[in-house]
Amino acid sequence: MRFSQVSLYLYLVLALVLASSMTVAAASTITIKMDAQAHTPTDNAEPTKENPNPIRAIRDIADEYEALHPDVNIEFIKVPEAQGRESWLQARMMAKDAPDVFWLNFDMTWNNYQKGWFKDLTPYLKRPNPYVEGNERWEDMFVEGILDAVRAPDGRIYDIAADGVGVGVYYNKSIFAEVGAKTPNTWSEFTDVQKRIQEAGYTPFVIQAGPNNVYMHWVDGIVQSQLIYDTFHQWDRDDNGFVDIPEVCLAVDEGAYPDVELMKEMWQLIKDWSQYWPRGFTSDIDVLQTFAAGQGAMMLEGSWALEMIKGLEPDFEVGVFQLPVVTKDLISEASEVPSRIYGPWGPGQWIIPGYLPDDRTEMVIDWLMFLAKPENIARLANDHGGAIPNITAAADAVSPELSGFMEDIPTQVIQGFTSVIDNTFADRYYSTMQLYLSGTISLDQFIEQSVRYYKEGARRMLRQNPDWRK
Amino acid sequence: MDLPTKRLARYQTSQKSLWQRAASRKTAYLFLLPTMLLLLTFNYYPALSAIYHSFTMWNGFTEPTFIGIENYVEIFTDPVMKKASSNLIVLALWRMLITLTVPVLVAELIFSVKGKLLQHWYRLLFVIPLIVPRLVTYLLWQFIYEPNVGLLNSFLASVGLESWQQTWLGDPKIALYAFMFMGFPWVDGVAVLIYLAGLQAIPRDIYDAALIDGTNVVNRFFRIDLPLIMGQVKLMVILAIIGVLQGFEGQLVLTDGGPGYATTVPGLEMYKQAMEYNRMGFGSAVGVVLFTIILTLTLINNKYLKSDVEYSGT
């Protein structure tokens, strides 16, 4: 009896010790939460009908990191894209419950860093990356100029851009062969090809200028960059090779931008082009489906769409070329220098919340340094299929299929992935553009209203960001 | 308790202070407390906060900057808000028209069905669509209106009416009308139930008397049914107004207010400015204006739209 009582006490003590040690073990494991956007691992590891392109590389890399650091657990968080990143960001920042690393397009940080939402990552980029032999400063691993492209107007970097994306014209090689067309180099050749395709009964260019898309912003950016290539330096105050959002606002405020006459000529050109677009292009058309179904010969899309098209199993081969150059015979002020969209807008953009304590930030940075190893970035790029590494030593990982996005031509000189000012401006400007392209208002009315939106937008942004004037 | 004792108890109660009376009913107030706290936190506080923030430039995160009535000036001078308001008036009138016609007609038809079981099944038939999420309906109509492969244009082509084909939601001249047509035949299940309940509450002897007087169906509807369901009509009018003023999910899903601003409404502008463009101050001001309009219209409705016929419900 006495023995069994002692045993019972011993069992109880043992159980308590075990429980407390388990609690200590659980408490010492740190979970880093990451929103890896399009690199987020999918539920299925093997291709399925519903999801033919499973994403798993980042999970494998995280497992390797966890093996090196048994006290760290990497958890991937899915952020619903339907909600809109602005709304998501605002809510998460107000609640201070964002993942430890999250994705945003770098230019979105420019409009929000003043609120203290993001950790300044500049000092961390000056440190050596311990996972890369011989590296003295982490920033040396990045493709030249890419970190300058994401640098905010205050000179700090809030976004580590490990990969980028490009935009190009996808074309249906079968339709081109059927009408005997080559990929065009000039706008006149482009028009001629589209005319022949239309005569053959296809929609020449599938694009939509409807709600919630960036197609027209891309068209605006590429064509405008071609036209202002010789003159944009007057607005490029920091001389970094492009006119970014603060520079646009300052130029508008001074009355130096936009060039109204040039703008008129550009939009007249785009209006003429719209005769080759699908019926109802101002409504919500599924561009990808229409193109993949073989109903349209070309479409303007990002490099990320390559895998999506493959998933739709088109019965034709797909090629990519860049939007042809506008020549002086069409617009006399044209620079005749082509332009393409390529930038650090990839799924590998890493941002850390500003409220994160320094000790936790250190742990997160360590994980990101591991993730940024060239071989890991190459694995991410291969897994995604449409991302182009911004880490120099991983650049070889670019798939040959993406070469059309990497043509050796200048990137656009007017920046902003969704807007050159802010989202209110984009909403007003592109809504008015819809009215112009659909023939509801005249070119003069469109330009007059647009200039007003430019001025209002610039005034609004400069008021919110007084440091931009410094 | 006899009558004098009751009167005495009432007199004694009326002599107590408010706090004494409240204390004597503390259990009831305790039960109400959680509800009141939730109401204050999630309904009244945000509403009062919106009134304050409507006078500020605020992005929802940093300290708001007081800018007086600047947001209100922008609301009343911005061409987009003007267009949104005119769209809202058209949509409100349309919603009132269909709320006061189609569901009333359907309710009358169901009410006229003789068999109770058959009446039950018809009622069920019109109520079942309520379980379909609104978003599904919008996406269905998006497919119907799709300009290239959509159901409507395909149907028109199949019957040789290619010239009637339109870019329904893509043409600024017709987008609002296409939007209004959505939901055809506009039978709102909730409205049907409310009207039907009103009709079923009308005493049978009124109909019997009317029948003896030789009334016909049209007379019965205009002289008996309609006056006696004015309470329900009033409720539906208020709900329709509130629904139109607050609703913007259809535009958000289908057109984002476009093309141009052909289908936008103030509610959508409020949402976009506040939640997508970080202009919480301006969004709050739009919300305050909408609140004022709803309140005013509700008061007018309550004052002037009255049921002037009373009947005993026994």
pLDDT in tens, A88-137: 888 888 889 999 999 998 888 887 888 889 999 999 999 999 999 999 99
Contact criterion met (CB < 8 Å) for A431 and B260: yes
Structure tokens at A411: 């990137």
- Say what the alpha-carbon torsion angle A343, A348, A353, A359 is, to the nearest 10 degrees: -130
Top mean-pLDDT range of A7-21, B13-27, B121-135: B121-135
In whole angstroms, what is the distance from residue B53 CA to residue B56 CA? 5
For the cut 70, the answer to whether the pLDDT of residue B171 exceeds it is: yes
Give the DSSP per-residue string, A217-285: HHHHHHHHHHHHTTTGGGT-TT-SSSB-HHHHHHHHHTT--S-HHHHHHHHHHHHHHGGGSPTTTTS--
What percent of chain B shows pLDDT beyond 70? 92
**If DSSP codes are grouped into helix, strand and coil, which group holds residue B277?**
coil
Tell whether A211 is within 8 A of chain B (Cβ). yes
pLDDT digits (tens, 9 = 90+) for B245-261: 888 999 998 998 989 89
Contact criterion met (CB < 8 Å) for A280 and B167: yes
The alpha carbon of residue B275 is apart from the nearest alpha carbon of chain A, in Å, by: 5
Reported as type and span, the H/E element at residue A446 is helix A443-464
The alpha carbon of residue B96 is apart from the nearest alpha carbon of chain A, in Å, by: 28
Listed by number, the residues of chain A in 283-342 with a beta carbon closer than 8 Å to a beta carbon of chain B are: 283-285, 290, 295
Average pLDDT, chain A: 88
In whole angstroms, what is the distance from residue A355 CA to residue A96 CA? 7
Contact status, residue A307 vs residue A53, Cβ threshold 8 Å: yes
What does the pLDDT average to over B42-47? Answer: 91
A and B: number of Cβ contacts within 8 A: 107
What does the pLDDT average to over B293-312? Answer: 73
Contact criterion met (CB < 8 Å) for A282 and B62: no
pLDDT digits (tens, 9 = 90+) for A392-440: 888 776 778 888 888 888 888 886 656 678 888 888 888 899 999 989 9
Structure tokens at B97: 């028209």
Using an 8 Å CB-CB cutoff, list chain A residues near B59. 115, 464
Using an 8 Å CB-CB cutoff, list chain A residues near B169. 280, 283-284
Length of chain A: 470
Q: Is B202 exposed, middle or buried (0-12, 13-18, 19+ CB in 10 A)?
A: middle
**pLDDT band at residue B183 under the 50/70/90 scheme:** confident
Residues contacting residue B263 through CB under 8 Å, at least 6 positions apart: B87, B169, B175, B176, B179, B251, B254, B255, B257
Average pLDDT, chain B: 88
The alpha carbon of residue A111 is apart from the nearest alpha carbon of chain B, in Å, by: 10
